[in-house]
Amino acid sequence: MAGHTDLMRVESGEIVRRVLFRRRFTAFFGSHLKVWDYFNHVNTIPGYEARIFLTPDSVPDRGNPWTSGDEMLAHWSPHDADLLFLSGTDWEGIAPTERDRFARPVINLVQALQNANPQDYRFPYLRHRAIRICCSDELHEAISATGCVNGPVFTIPNGLDRASMPPGMPAEARAHDLLIAGHKAPDLAARLAKSLAARHHGLRLAVLTEVVSRNEFLAALADARTAILLPLPTEGFYLPALEAMQVGTLVVCPDVGGNRSFCTGRTAIVPRNFGEAALLEAADRALALGMAERDAIVDAAAAVAAPYTLERERSLFEPILRNVDQLW
């Protein structure tokens, strides 16, 4: 890297450039999953290596994919990297006086529409020089419209890790008629469960109101005929909806902005808003579908989900990584 050759490592005659990540991991969230995917992308691209520092209050369990080994760093030394990969509050790892234009190139993964909200604590990060990757076109448009973004912006749609997902079972073989995935809105999930159980006698219902491991969550999706998903209203993408589509589960999910490219009337039941009445109405519609109509939506959803792969994500990311000097 021009200007940073003292930081590079030579291995078997090849220059290896170090990409440094920083995370505060207290529980498993989707934002961590996507950073983990990019961490692995770096390590599979020849000539690059990923290293990570976990903040002292991070926990080694609760689904933490970074556990031990040479990739873990005991100290946070951003100046010892060839470039940084930051997402969310990872910016806090750079001194405020250095954030506007750090001495090393910065790749910034933007994952929430709230980044475009001037009242949000993440909004000021847009003014710091970085090469930004947005996980959806909707998010790209939202942050660009602020007029505050410092540096180039790219869109790379989130990819599904299909190798880690359980196979979809036939609808009739699934243990639950309905899953309510509500750890982001537990009180609402509990109220919906109570109302739906009263409205649909004998309904085989499962409710998630707390964060569970990724494997548990995917298994619950795959074992339900239909899933009501309760995201935050400002998701930049919302991967669980695609995951449900991948395992053949009928999706009921509100419009959160970042999911508009795959949660449509053809691929999901989309409530008219986030209100309890609208969600109940959408759930009733989903539960009343005949087999042929249900299968048509599930099949359309699977077709839409098919291109969202980690391979595509990596192929779009690699040119950005390799051209980081020119982009910076």
pLDDT tens digits, 252-306: 999 999 999 999 999 999 999 999 999 999 999 999 999 999 999 999 999 999 9
- Residues 203-221, mean pLDDT to the nearest whole number: 94
Cα dist from 325 to 11, 28, 44, 130, 307, whole Å: 21, 33, 20, 12, 29
- Do 317 and 275 share a structural domain? no
- Calculate mean pLDDT across residues 310-324: 97
Residue 191: give its domain's CATH number.
3.40.50.2000
Confidence (pLDDT) at 4: 35
Phi/psi region, residue 257 (left: phi>0; alpha: psi -120 to 50; beta: rest), is left
Does the pLDDT of residue 2 top 50, yes or no? no
Phi-psi region of 45 (alpha: psi -120 to 50; beta: other; left: phi over 0): beta
pTM confidence score:
0.91
SS3 104: coil
- In this structure, are 16 and 122 located in the same domain? yes
For residues 278 and 167, state if they share a domain: yes
229 and 190, same domain (yes or no): yes
Would you give the distance in Å from CA 326 to the centre of its chain?
27
* Residue 104 shares a structural domain with residue 194: no
Indicate whether 116 and 193 sit together in one domain. no
295 lies in the same domain as 201: yes
pLDDT tens, 19-49? 999 988 877 777 889 999 999 999 999 999 9
pLDDT category, 59, cuts 50, 70, 90? confident
pLDDT of residue 1: 32
- Reported as a single tens digit per residue, the pLDDT across 68-103 is 677 889 899 999 999 999 999 999 999 999 999 899
- 144: enclosing H helix or E strand: helix 137-144
Q: Do 180 and 117 lie in a common domain? A: no
- Do 150 and 79 fall within a single domain? yes
C-alpha 320/C-alpha 145 separation (Å) is: 22
> How high is the mean pLDDT of the chain?
92
| Domain limits for position 35 | 5-159+309-327
The pair of three-digit structure tokens given for residue 98, joined into one six-digit string: 């250095």
Number of domain units in the chain = 2
Residue 11 reports pLDDT greater than 80: no
CA atoms within 13 A on the CB side of 100: 2
Q: Are 40 and 186 found together in one domain?
A: no
Query: For position 41, what pLDDT does the model report?
Result: 98
Q: In this structure, are residues 50 and 42 in contact, taking their beta carbons and an 8 Å threshold?
A: yes
Q: Beta strand pairing status for 9-11 and 14-23?
A: antiparallel
For residue 195, pLDDT beyond 80: yes
pLDDT band for 8, please (50, 70, 90 cuts).
low
